[in-house]
Amino acid sequence: MKILTINDAQKKIDDWINTTGVRYFNELTNLGILMEEVGELSRLLVRKYGEQSFKETDKGKELSDEMADVLWVLICLANQTGVNLTEALEKNFEKKTIRDRDRHHQNEKLK
C-alpha cells in the first residue's frame, strides 16, 4: 500500500474536486460542512468512549470514516486558502515544542 503524504492528499483532493466534484464549495460553506463533520465525529466518540448510548442511526458508522470526512474538508479549506498543510504542521510542531518543552512534564495532573 502506497503511503499518502499530506502534500499528495492535497493534490489528490484538488484533482478530485476539479473533476468529479466539479468545483469547490465556497470557503464559508466548507467551514459549515467542517463543523458538521466534526459534530458527527464527536457524536460517535461520545457514544463509543463516553456515557451516551448508541442510537439506531449511529450503527454502522466508523470512527475512521468520520475522521477522514473531517480531514477531507480541512484539506479542501487548505487548498482554497493557499495553505500548505505540510509546512503548517511542521511550523506547528516547532511552536509547540518551544512553548511546551517543560509545561507538560510539570503538570501534576499528567503524573
**Would you say residue 94 lies in a domain?**
no
State yes or no: pLDDT of 82 exceeds 90: yes
Distance between CA atoms of residues 86 and 64, nearest Å: 21
The predicted structure's pLDDT at residue 91: 98
The predicted structure's pLDDT at residue 106: 86
**Would you say residue 46 lies in a domain?**
yes
- 75: how many CB neighbours lie within 10 A of its CB? 20
The predicted structure's pLDDT at residue 34: 98
The predicted structure's pLDDT at residue 49: 95
- Give tens-digit pLDDT for 14-72: 999 999 999 999 999 999 999 999 999 999 999 999 999 999 988 899 999 999 999 99
**Would you say residue 62 lies in a domain?**
yes
The predicted structure's pLDDT at residue 111: 83
Show the domain range for 18: 6-85
Distance between CA atoms of residues 87 and 5, nearest Å: 12
What total of structural domains would you count in the chain? 1
CATH code of the domain in which 64 resides: 1.10.287.1080
Nearest 5°: phi and psi at 25? -65, 160
Does this model's pTM top 0.85? My answer is yes
